[in-house]
Structure 1
Amino acid sequence: MKIKSLILLSLSMVLLSQPIQAQRIKDIANVQGVRSNQLIGYGLVVGLPGTGEKTRYTEQTFRTMLKNFGINLADNVNPKTKNAAVVAVHAEMPAFIKPGQNLDITVSSIGEAKSLRGGTLLQTFLKGVDGNVYAIAQGTLVVSGFSAEGQDGSRVIQNTPTVGRIPSGAIVERSVMSPFASGDHLTFNLRRADFSTAKNMEQAINDLLGPGMARALDATSVQVSAPRDASQRVSFLSTLENIQVDMADESAKVIVNSRTGTIVVGQNVRLMPAAVTHGGLTVTIAEATQVSQPNPFSDGQTVVTTDSTIDVAQDDSRMFLFDPGTSLDELVRAVNLVGAAPSDVLAILEALKMAGALHGELIII
């Protein structure tokens, strides 16, 4: 684990020390208003081989389905719903998708069904956050997981048998209005807010289109004057999104994953004058049981005694002095020389931060 983390740390030094190249606008920003929308619905899966459920809401849903087909069950009739299960259906509706196109959907059991394998989703309405129906889902589920249960109660489960997907299982019935073709401007939102990058994007667009065509509103948004005609706006945007923008340097950060021991240090991290020492103290306690037997024909009794051995060992400590402005290179080299484990490295970084000697943000995830 220690070797792996140190290799990752050294690798991050090599990668982050490379100069940042210019990137296309389409790779670093999104167009405001061009977004996907989440859909959700409540439905019934039937045709299960006895792996369904028998709950009150499953029975109610089953009765409602039959009623929609003109079949009314008497109140004293108890339908057997072991071959059915109530499910939640959700999908993501991409921007600009039109009625008649298809969506992939995910179906998840919300009751106590054991498996959805072999089931078929009946017609289910998928609604948006505004309560309107935007798609209708139906089809046979594809379930990768399975479960098997023995008569003695033993059970084997692989993956998740209560979640399945239906590729192209929903048909879009209504499109979502987009502000893309309205107004006199287009706004790009940076995926990573940075004032310098926003200014560089503004300058790159103005160099191509002319002064005053683009202006940075804040660290995230850059507003660009655009034609009103929808077809012209598409051509206009296709040109803009391929403009190369110089990315600003990332702020100084040290990111530590406390679960995996992975440590990534940014290239702008610096150290103020500091001395770091690292040492380990090992205490080993061994218990040995001994039996004392009395001499023959004596009145003595057998006695059991415990012999404790305590061994204390302390590793050699090593102290390293960091000069002002110590870079990532020296920091990684010193950590490797110390031979510290990931948990020890985290303790060293936290101590340096508390001492004010670490110039950079320490992020622990």
Structure 2
Amino acid sequence: MTMKMTQHRARNFKTSLQLTVFASLMVLLSSTSLSSAPSNSTSHSSRIKDIVSFEGVRDNQLVGYGLVVGLNGTGDGLTNAPFTRESLVSMLERLGVNIRDQLANLKTKNVAAVMVTANLPPFSRQGARIDISVSAMGDAKDLLGGTLLVTPLMGADGDVYAVAQGPITTGSFQASGSSGSSITKGVPTNGKIPNGAIIEKEIGFELKNQDGLKLSLFNPDFTTAKRIADAVNVKFGHVADALDPTTVQLQIPAKFAANPVAFITEVEQMPITPDLGAKVVIDEANGVIVMGKNVRISEVAVSHGNLTIKITETPQVSQPNPFSIGGTTEIVARTGIDVKEDSNKKMVVLDGGTTLQQLVDGLNALGVSPRDMITILETIKSAGALQAEIEVK
């Protein structure tokens, strides 16, 4: 009796163990499936920081005029570039060298007048360095090996915000032979100086003094602006309002008043799904077509046929018979015209509500080139069957 009870308990324990292992395995598979399944809400979303800019947080453009010295005979011709000559004379006078009486003998080609440009990043502090670009103004051939002398960089208000100086790197070269042949790589009259300017004046913008901020959408859209405002309001309360397709007004919550950077950081990282309009952009010069995913085609029939006309000229020489009197050699024109029409092209019917992928597949099935596809799309638009905006670059 005891032996039977022991065997019965062993069977129950074994069955219970099997059920426990099976249940654990199902839970593991279920959790793995849930964790590996993509989230529909964020599968096509972008961070707010990737689709907007904060008003006031922006670059400022700087520009200056300067001289590049140390060129290997590739600088401006002082006769053809009087501004270079006057700048050189003025610079030497400031250094205590007077050559006004020797202008006729000034023939150096190792100097070039240049324009210097730079972008002053937001929140840049005094003493920080920024990159600059240098571009020749006169007839200089190459800025390779040149050094930019001290050049003030001014903003739109006329104030000096940075000072530039340093050796120029072009990444280009130019070489020529005695027979006039030459080779050029890149643009040798443009160059850069990494960290070539030192910031001397800051642009005041203190976030702690701001009661609110404005977000500016890179691609203006009513729906996207509303989605941003709704997402921010769900997380922080009613602190956001969509003012127009481009602007979303933000009020800094009270708990972030002392630390607005933390508020901006949280807003930047929030995922948003931008809404895309139905638009087709065509660059006819380069044969490029870009179509948004919401482009739809109403039911329409499309055919594409090629008619090729080939004209060839094969001139022939007609000579007189040997020992003929008065005969002359003449060139006789022979023209051949060949007309060929491709009869293998068929008509394709695109059903109503055709998607972008179906449209591309249908046009590819016709064997059309990008330039022919441009003509077909414009014709479909003219027929009223393309439910999208067409923009031709």
d(CA) in 2 for partners of 1:268, 1:51: 54
Q: 2:93 aligns with which of 67, 75, 80?
A: 67
Q: 1:145 aligns with which of 172, 181, 201?
A: 172
* Higher normalized contact order (CA 8 Å, seq sep 6+, divided by chain length): 1
Unaligned ranges ≥5, structure 1: 1-18
Identity of aligned residues (%): 45
Q: 1:213 aligns with which of 239, 257, 279?
A: 239
Q: CA deviation at 1:158?
A: 2.2
CA gap of 1:182–1:81, structure 2 versus 1, over 3 A, is farther
Q: 1:265 aligns with which of 265, 279, 291?
A: 291
Normalised to the residue count of structure 2, the TM-score between the two structures is 0.80
> What letter is aligned with 2:371?
S
Residues 349-360 of structure 1 mapped to structure 2, 5 A cutoff: 349-360=377-388
d(CA) in 2 for partners of 1:109, 1:21: 46
Cα deviation code 1:268-321 (max 9, x no counterpart):
222223222221222334555667788899999688765554433221242222
Unaligned ranges ≥5, structure 2: 1-41
Give the match for residue 35 of structure 1: 58
Give the match for residue 281 of structure 2: 255
CA contact 1:272–1:358 (8 Å) conserved in 2: yes
CA contact 1:47–1:119 (8 Å) conserved in 2: yes
Cα deviation code 1:170-218 (max 9, x no counterpart):
11000112264434111111111111111111111111111x2111111
Q: CA deviation at 1:155?
A: 3.3
Q: CA deviation at 1:152?
A: 4.4
Aligned residue pairs: how many?
A: 345
Q: 2:347 aligns with which of 315, 319, 326?
A: 319
Which stretch shifts more, 163-172 or 307-316? 307-316
CA gap of 1:75–1:223, structure 2 versus 1, over 3 A, is same
Give the match for residue 129 of structure 2: 102
1:162 aligns with 2:189: yes
d(CA) in 1 for partners of 2:166, 2:314: 69
Residues 82-97 of structure 1 mapped to structure 2, 5 A cutoff: 82-97=109-124
> What letter is aligned with 1:265?
M
Q: CA deviation at 1:133?
A: 0.4
Give the match for residue 267 of structure 2: 240
**RMSD (CA atoms):** 2.7
CA contact 2:208–2:258 (8 Å) conserved in 1: no
Give the match for residue 7 of structure 1: none
CA contact 1:180–1:186 (8 Å) conserved in 2: no
Normalised to the residue count of structure 1, the TM-score between the two structures is 0.85
Give the match for residue 220 of structure 2: 193
Q: CA deviation at 1:121?
A: 1.1
Which stretch shifts more, 153-162 or 336-345? 153-162
Q: CA deviation at 1:103?
A: 0.9
SS in 1 for 2:156: coil
Structure with the larger helix share: 2
1:120 aligns with 2:147: yes
1:362 aligns with 2:390: yes
Give the match for residue 361 of structure 2: 333
SS in 2 for 1:75: helix
Q: CA deviation at 1:51?
A: 1.9
Give the match for residue 12 of structure 1: none
CA contact 1:58–1:81 (8 Å) conserved in 2: no
d(CA) in 1 for partners of 2:159, 2:87: 21
Q: CA deviation at 1:102?
A: 0.4
Which stretch shifts more, 71-80 or 199-208? 71-80
d(CA) in 1 for partners of 2:60, 2:318: 80
CA contact 1:59–1:81 (8 Å) conserved in 2: no
Which stretch shifts more, 119-128 or 333-342? 333-342
Residues 294-309 of structure 1 mapped to structure 2, 5 A cutoff: 308-309=335-336
d(CA) in 2 for partners of 1:236, 1:276: 54
Q: CA deviation at 1:98?
A: 0.3
CA contact 2:306–2:341 (8 Å) conserved in 1: yes
CA gap of 1:149–1:94, structure 2 versus 1, over 3 A, is same
